[in-house]
Chain A
Amino acid sequence: MSAEVKSSSERNIRARFSPAGILGKPFRGLILVSRKYGAEWWIMIAGALIVSFMIIVAVFPAVFAPYGPLDQEAGGQLMPPQPGYPFGTDNLHRDVLSRVIFGARTILGVAFAAAILSSAIGIPLGLLSGFVGGILDRILSLIMDSVYSFPGLILAIAFAAMLGPGVVNITLAVAVIYIPTYFRMVRGQTLSIREEVYVEAARAIGARRWVILLQYIFPNVIASVVVIFSINIADAILTEAALSYIGLGLPAGIPDWGMDLSMGKKFLPSGTWWMITFPGAAISLLALGFTMLGEGLAEILNPRLLER
């Protein structure tokens, strides 16, 4: 790039929409919010707390878990919750609490990886499609809309069945179904931002197209993407659990909440309630945390953002 003479207006525009500027906005927003939007604020905080707690547990499971998740000598067989075994033990003498704790790592790992993969594909496609328009946009939109309108779980089941068991395969299966969500959001935003005056101005001063994309449009999209990302993870958690529950998930030897639920339900009529209650509650709590975080953020950053 040759040394350009930058006009003051361009400098202002750049400053306003530079990454620092974008990130600064929410902070100022948060301060305003705490005075004005009581409920949303607390929802977001609660979500953030749950999520952070779960992430810490997932990253340092050995700190919290009294036994290993595969330890078949932790305690007696099918012991109900009691001192020393707050969540009881399962039929292989394993401590349910430890399995729940280690299972957090599994499910968070898959959900995060899937979300990152989805966004990595969906966002660029959405930007491209919205910005370039034309026949590419029409075709991509048609494909994405079709996939979006189809029940995601069924597609995930088909993919998971096709790929077989394994962490990577499940991540792929879960990732595929969220690509349209990112695509649609980003494309929609791109379409509206594209018409804004400052973008026109940038075009007028001769900025190249991908520069416009990266420096003007993309930063504006980030805020909504963060919200979608959080909710995506919540959905991914539920989808991964569902796949494991019907037996299409991870292989044996990896602690997994969905699989524990499907193995535990055989013992339900015997009155063994603890094998399914705690993993299920964990799934709900984790999904709830991410949802609350996402929804709270959404209301704060842009109250009408998530009109499902």
Chain B
Amino acid sequence: MKKFVCVLVLLAAASALVFAGGTAAAPAKTLVYATTEHLTDLDPSNAYDFHTWELFQNIGNGLLKYEPGKTEIIPGLAESYTANSDASEYTFKLRKGLKYSDGTPFNAEVVKWSVDRVMALEGDPSWLVTSYVDSVEVVDEYTVKFKLVGPVGFFPSVVATVPYFPMNPKLYPEDRWINDPSELIGGKYAGLGPYNLVSFKRDEEVILEANPDYYGAKPKVDRIVIRYFADATTMRLALEKGEVDLVYKTLNPSDIVDLSKNANYKTFKMSGPYIRYLCFEVSEGQFSDKRLRQAVGALINRQEIIDKVFLGQNQPLYSMVPNGMIYHTDDFKTKLGDGNVQLANKLLAEAGYTAAKPLVFDLWYPPQHYGDTEKDMVEVMQAQLQKSPAVKVNLKSAEWATYTDNFDTKQMKVFTLGWYPDYIDPDNYTAAFASSQGSPGMGIYFSDPEWDALFTKEQTSADPNVRKQVFEDLQMRWTDQCPTVPIFQGNLYVFTKKNVSGVNIGPTLIFNYEVLEIE
């Protein structure tokens, strides 16, 4: 027994000494960026999510890019470009003498190889290339010409997207896309961006170091460590304990409230592109009657959902076109309102539903896919809908795989869904749900030839007046037909320690690490 105690004392003394040892030395200017996001494929030919694109925008570069925080397009790897008279051919003059960090030279061949590869592999984002580009031609070592399928006035903004980024042909296999950097030929990443990918441990930590060969201004932060957290609570606590310097996506509502009030941290709040809405299966069954859809839409009380579930963090949304986007209107507010029990009862009565014979239906939701606030949201919605005595709602859930299956089987008549845009334009928020072509893929099955005609009109016109008129018309029609009912639009928050500056995320939602600074 005595021996045992002596050993314990010695151990305690030893650990006390060890405690005083201190942490391993780190090189100057490291910024730890915490997030709950996940990286998908480390390959532009198949990466199609915001976070992986964010990484590529910092470890790679496009021919053209956006000025940080702005919507102006500026030269990237291409010094300049010219278009032919009808905007169906674009010729880019590339910067000379650039090399990837493994020595591979950057030239027109590399650009052609990368774009051809994306088209050939047919990954998720490949349509961004194949819809516009017919072929790529190498004019000379530093000149490359894109021949398009037709006139595309906004091609510069398309070429700035990640699938067009010139990738190092020595590293990426020709015949398939890769998932991890360990699958690169040689195993190490080498790029042209302001940062280089130095170390990668999926869902744990990714280390980036400033690229000494970068053609632009040297980043002020030498090393960025992206730390992946499994849940928001841990991430918030990490910030409060000083373990991380910057937090972006996605904190719990209560964490956002607390951190915003805390003077020790800087808060950056932006209107996000992310929207949530309710969908109906409109081709068969009860909800083919638009009055019922309108009634449900009228009963939803957006602000109440936002206050209860998100502690006031998001914005109510009265159109499928997000707040702040061109041609947005608030028609749902004027036409149906929030928590409009009176209007709902009237519509329900017209359709034959009363307290004696209520409308009974299942409200479906995916319990994990959008976070666990989903459960709270549908519970609040259930209570709101049942404020009308003529409505009775059952809550039903299905995991995402089953949920998307159910689109095909038309099993879900009323269900929640969310949307992150492919590109920043009202078309992306509307056609996908209500065009005859796109609607079945969302389980909505809405089809109206007049609407299709309107969609075609706005897609083929470059005249902002024409498009404005079309979208205003569509949004007004939306409140009548209600294939979906918009609920809210998410806000994006970045929290940093006081010694961090340079966070500049503009309307493009591109996060440039190279302008970050830390003292």
Direct A–B contact in complex, judged by CB atoms less than 8 Å apart: yes
Given A72-B380, A92-B376, A252-B395, answer yes or no on A269-B258 (Cβ-Cβ < 8 Å): yes
A93 within 8 A of B: yes
CA of A253 to CA of B382, assembled, Å: 9
Cβ distance B496 to chain A, nearest Cβ, rounded Å: 18
**A91 with B232: CB separation less than 8 A:** no
B378 within 8 A of A: yes
Cβ distance A265 to chain B, nearest Cβ, rounded Å: 7
CA of A50 to CA of B387, assembled, Å: 38
**A247 with B378: CB separation less than 8 A:** no
Cβ distance B244 to chain A, nearest Cβ, rounded Å: 14
CA of A78 to CA of B309, assembled, Å: 11
B54 within 8 A of A: no
B367 within 8 A of A: yes
> Chain A binding site: helix, strand, loop or mixed by DSSP?
loop
Q: How large is the interface on B (under 10, 10 to 19, 20 to 34, 35 or more residues)?
A: 20 to 34
Given A72-B383, A262-B372, answer yes or no on A164-B399 (Cβ-Cβ < 8 Å): yes
Please count how many residues in chain A sit with their CB below 8 Å of the partner chain's CB atoms: 23
A266 within 8 A of B: yes
A268 within 8 A of B: yes
**B254 with A253: CB separation less than 8 A:** no
B308 within 8 A of A: yes
- Closest residue to A78 on the B side, CB-wise? B254
A165 within 8 A of B: yes
Given A92-B380, A266-B233, answer yes or no on A165-B367 (Cβ-Cβ < 8 Å): yes
CA of A247 to CA of B373, assembled, Å: 12
**A269 with B367: CB separation less than 8 A:** no
B480 within 8 A of A: no
**A265 with B376: CB separation less than 8 A:** no
B201 within 8 A of A: no
A159 within 8 A of B: no
- Closest residue to A77 on the B side, CB-wise? B308
**A70 with B254: CB separation less than 8 A:** no
CA of A265 to CA of B379, assembled, Å: 18
CA of A252 to CA of B233, assembled, Å: 22
In the bound complex, residues from chain A placing their C-beta under 8 Å from that of B395 are 251-253
A148 within 8 A of B: no
Cβ distance B379 to chain A, nearest Cβ, rounded Å: 5
Cβ distance B414 to chain A, nearest Cβ, rounded Å: 14
A272 within 8 A of B: yes
A2 within 8 A of B: no
Which residue of the partner chain, among B365, B375, B399, contacts A263 with CB atoms under 8 Å? Answer: B375
Cβ distance B268 to chain A, nearest Cβ, rounded Å: 21
The chain B residues found within 8 Å of chain A, CB to CB, are 232-233, 236-237, 240, 252-255, 257-258, 307-309, 311, 365, 367-368, 372, 375-376, 378-380, 382-383, 394-399, 402
Given A252-B367, A252-B379, A265-B233, 17 extra CB contacts under 8 A: A70-B382, A72-B308, A91-B254, A91-B376, A93-B308, A164-B398, A247-B368, A251-B367, A252-B378, A252-B395, A253-B379, A253-B394, A266-B254, A267-B252, A269-B233, A269-B237, A270-B257
